[in-house]
Amino acid sequence: MSDSTTTTTDTPITGMPITTDRQWYSSPGQILKEEYLEPLGISNYRLAKAINVSETAVGEVIRGKRRISTAMAVRLARALDTTPQYWLNLQNDYDLLTFDTASVGDIRPLVSA
């Protein structure tokens, strides 16, 4: 019998099935690096130049030190032939999945459903 707590669920924003073992969550920056930059042979510097941001900004997104903002999502979408919604959904899903809900556990509803 396994001690793993991995389960499958749908992400809050996109509804796509994912595993809920926190160690397997990919940040939007990891996805950017592993699914786009590495396979296409694009350096952080080249992407930064193409989307008119600093190389530091790109590196921080990749390392998970900076969230993908609306402006960054639009820039990435144009450069990588995706949509801004794709990048914003990745960021929102990641934020929701990694948020520590215990920190708001004492909040009670003001209205009932």
Question: What is the pLDDT at residue 101?
Answer: 86
Question: What is the pLDDT at residue 17?
Answer: 55
Q: Is the dihedral angle over the CA atoms 44, 49, 51, 57 positive or is it negative?
A: positive
Per the domain annotation, does 105 fall within a domain? no
Distance between CA atoms of residues 18 and 10, nearest Å: 6
Question: What is the pLDDT at residue 105?
Answer: 87
Per the domain annotation, does 17 fall within a domain? no
Question: What is the pLDDT at residue 45?
Answer: 99
Distance between CA atoms of residues 98 and 75, nearest Å: 25
Per the domain annotation, does 79 fall within a domain? yes
pTM for the full predicted model:
0.75
Block mean pLDDT (10 aa), the chain, length 113: 47 53 78 98 99 99 98 99 98 93 89 85
Distance between CA atoms of residues 34 and 38, nearest Å: 6
CATH code of the domain containing 74: 1.10.260.40
